Amino acid sequence: MFPEALEFHVSGSINNLVEWMLHTFRGFFDWVAEAILGMLMFLNDALSILPWWAYLLIVCILAWLTTRRVATTVTLTLLPLIIGIFGLWELAINTLAIILAAAFISILVGIPLGVLIAESPIAAGFIRPLLDLMQTMPSFVYLIPAVIFFGLGYVPAVFATIIYSLPPIIRLTDLGLNQVSEDVIEAALSCGATRWQLLREVQLPLAVPSILAGINQTTMMALAMVVVAAMIGGGGLGYEVLRAINRIDVGSGFEAGISVVILAIIIDRLTQGLAKRWEPPTVNNS
Amino acid sequence: MEKAIEVSRLWKIFGRDVDHIELNQETISQLEESDEYIAAVCDMSFSVNKGEVFVVMGLSGSGKSTLIRCLLRLIEPTAGSIRINGYDVCGLDQEELTKFRRQQVAMVFQHYGLLPHRTVLENVGFGLKLQGVPEKERLDLSHAWIERVGLQGFENYYPDQLSGGMQQRVGIARALACDPPVLLMDEPFSGLDPLIRREMQEQLCRLQHGMQKTIFFVTHDLEEGMRLGDRMAVMRGGRFVQIGTPEEIIANPADDYVASFVQDKRNASQEVELCSLKH
Ligand SMILES: Nc1ncnc2c1ncn2[C@@H]1O[C@H](COP(=O)(O)OP(=O)(O)O)[C@@H](O)[C@H]1O
Ligand SMILES: [Mg+2]
């Protein structure tokens, strides 16, 4: 046994720190919670207005626009039917709302952060190690601060999902900006580009494929987390999975699991197709 | 004669923390001994006349690219002074430097440096766009230059859809569209097939005939240098070993290095003579 005399607990101080933060930044946390909840409710209402077939139509159009393949389009369009047949349509819409809310906020925060670390070595020195740390932590860990700051319910679920899905978009924005060839940057500078013009006219447009790949990954991470976040009140398909586990109900678990996978496939295909569309033509005579 | 470019005691040293080095006899000899530092441009002083084509020739690694980039501070010189059209280039702050690059100089690169996500038309107008030239005027100028370099019909192509020679025409049109008095060219034709290269050289000559720009032209090809240059400088190890007209350099190479360059040329012209004798 480890000698008891050597034990030293930091849990007390950490609890105090959290207590202090909650007290001091109460206004801020309330504001964040309200913003997240407002956005989620709006998305959920908006998504619920659409009838089920409208989703098939939207998926069909997007799939055709981004992939231009008949087989892919037909498959992607028919897949959501399965969710409906299993009776999980409404839960899937709830899950979709959380994913969209979280991914949207991640992208909104992540792209500027990616630009920041690409431009400033000092910021990169702080943020890159943090991102490494974040990506090595198991997803459950993110539930802890979420619960501490926001209790149980939708808001902490979205919050945990945002934190978990943030690293890829930051990294891939940074990567995309750094990958822009030195030749092109030099040429733009020689034409008299300011730093801002260089970013806006050259680096960001050329980083778009990488940024879109980041959006794809961030959305997929959000989907993965949303299932876990059901443990703290995220609801949706994740809750269905959780309930099936608790009851050892293999059948329901299978139905909910398949529905999550279908959601994942559709989101993945559509966002990936978007990234491919972006590349400028390279072959002779387009 | 009026000078367009005046360079005096220019140094560029690559290595860590080089910006804080005070250059004097002692530190220079230290630099030469250490492996940590590379002096790519060593104490260069020269001037280029207005309206002249000044060719810098040297083997790869002799510091040509570094020198030409120092002239518009794409690479920060370590020490020395550069005057271009009355601008003290090294003394400009960021804002003035941007303005200087927009109005006084333009550069053409060996690897073209075109924007892959922009069409030929947009690439040619890129410099004008950065300056905030109104769209109508920008399009007119871009179309005019596309025509002058012989790219009409390709306005909506993307760079990767064009051959190397055509891409470089875009690069030249982009540089000239801003109408700068000084044109810097870093081995612009080195990546091209000999036939295309010849064609591009002739086109540049024709363009220059109507413009009378000051052209600072870097190459490793003696023939190209002789064809284009009013004056030529041979560079080695960060210094000019000889400056003169192409004829002077051929006739009186200053040292073995220059002579070895010139030797090939002599052999080549002898061969040409032999061929013409046979026929
Ligand atoms: N960014 C750099 N860092 C360190 N050394 C460099 C750098 N750029 C060029 N050099 C060195 O400076 C010398 C001159 O290079 P360069 O100007 O590219 O020659 P050239 O254009 O004549 O081939 C070479 O020895 C090269 O290795
Ligand atoms: Mg070079």
In a domain? residue A66: yes
Closest in B99, B115, B129 to A184, CB measured: B115
Asked if the structure places residue A1 within a domain, the reply is no
Atom index in ligand 1 nearest the CA of residue B67 equals 17
Query: Average of pLDDT values for B102-108?
Result: 95
Atom 8 (ligand 1) nearest CA? B66
> Burial, B190: exposed, middle or buried (Cβ in 10 Å; 0-12, 13-18, 19+)?
middle
Chain B residues with beta carbon closer than 8 angstroms to that of A193 = 98, 130
Instruction: State the average pLDDT for chain A.
Output: 90
Of B62, B66, B78, the one to substitute when testing ligand 1's pocket (max ligand atoms within 8 A of C-beta) is B66
pTM: 0.86
Contact flag B101-A191 (C-beta cutoff 8 Å): yes
Q: Is the pLDDT of residue B265 over 80?
A: no
Give the pLDDT of residue B170.
96
Residues in chain B with CB shorter than 8 Å from the CB of A176 are none
Domain count, chain A: 1
pLDDT confidence tier of residue B275, bands split at 50, 70 and 90: very low
pLDDT at A127 over 80: yes
Instruction: Give residue-wise pLDDT tens across range A62-92.
Output: 999 888 889 999 999 999 999 999 999 999 9
A72 in a structural domain: yes
Ligand 1 centroid to B69 CA: how many Å?
11
How much is the pLDDT for B261?
A: 79
Is A3 inside a domain boundary? Answer: no
Task: Kindly indicate the confidence band of residue B62, based on its pLDDT and cuts at 50, 70 and 90.
Answer: very high
Per-residue pLDDT tens digits for B72-95: 999 999 999 999 999 999 999 999
Residue A192 has pLDDT above 60, yes or no: yes
Residue numbers of the domain that contains A271: 16-278
Q: Which of A186, A201, A285 sits opposite B74 (nearest CB)?
A: A186
A45 in any annotated domain: yes
pLDDT in tens, A153-167: 999 999 999 999 999
Q: In A, what residues contact B, Cβ < 8 A?
A: 183-184, 186-194, 197, 201-202, 205-206, 280-286
Indicate whether B268 pLDDT > 70.
no
**B205 pLDDT more than 70:** yes
Once rounded to an integer, what is the mean pLDDT over residues B191-204?
92
ipTM of the complex: 0.90
Nearest to B126 among A191, A206, A280 (CB): A191
CATH of the domain at A76: 1.10.3720.10
Cβ contact B88:B77 at 8 Å: no
Residue at A5 is within a domain: no
Residue ID of nearest Cα to ligand 1 atom 17: B63
The B-side interface with A (CB below 8 A) comprises 69, 72, 74, 98-103, 105-107, 109, 111-117, 126-127, 129-131, 157-158, 160-161, 171, 174, 178, 184
B66 C-alpha to ligand 1 centroid (Å): 6
Residue A268 lies in a domain: yes
Nearest CA in chain A to B177: A191
CB B235 within 8 A of CB B42: no
Q: Which of B101, B117, B160 sits opposite A205 (nearest CB)?
A: B117
Q: What integer is the mean pLDDT of B4-30?
A: 80
Q: Is the pLDDT of residue A286 over 60?
A: no
pLDDT of B215 reads 96
The average confidence (pLDDT) of chain B is 89
Task: Tell whether the model's pLDDT for residue A31 goes beyond 70.
Answer: yes
Which residue, judged by its Cα, is nearest atom 18 of ligand 1?
A: B65
Look at A64-73, A182-191, A205-214, B263-272 and tell me which has the smallest mean pLDDT: B263-272
B254 burial level (CB within 10 Å; 0-12, 13-18, 19+) = middle
Q: Can you give the pLDDT at residue B276?
A: 47
pLDDT digits 0-9 by tens, A236-275: 999 999 999 999 999 999 999 999 999 999 999 988 888 7
Q: Give mean pLDDT, residues A121-135.
A: 92
- Residue A136 domain-assigned (yes or no): yes
pLDDT reported for residue B263:
80
Q: For B97, name the nearest residue in chain A, comparing CA atoms only.
A: A192
Counted across chains A and B, CB pairs separated by less than 8 A come out at 81
What's the gap in Å between the CA of B39 and the closest CA on chain A?
21
Q: According to the 3-state scheme, what is the secondary structure of chain B? A: CCEEEEEEEEEEEECCCHHHCCCCHHHHHHHHHCCCCEEEEEEEEEEEECCCEEEEECCCCCCHHHHHHHCCCCCCCCEEEEEECCEEHHHCCHHHHHHHHHHCEEEECCCCCCCCCCCHHHHHCHHHHHHCCCHHHHHHHHHHHHHHCCCCCCCCCCHHHCCHHHHHHHHHHHHHHCCCCEEEEECCCCCCCHHHHHHHHHHHHHHHHHHCCEEEEEECCHHHHHHHCCEEEEEECCEEEEEECHHHHHHCCCCHHHHHHHHHHHHHHHHHHHHHHHC
Say which residue, A277 or A156, is predicted with more confidence: A156
pLDDT at A284: 47
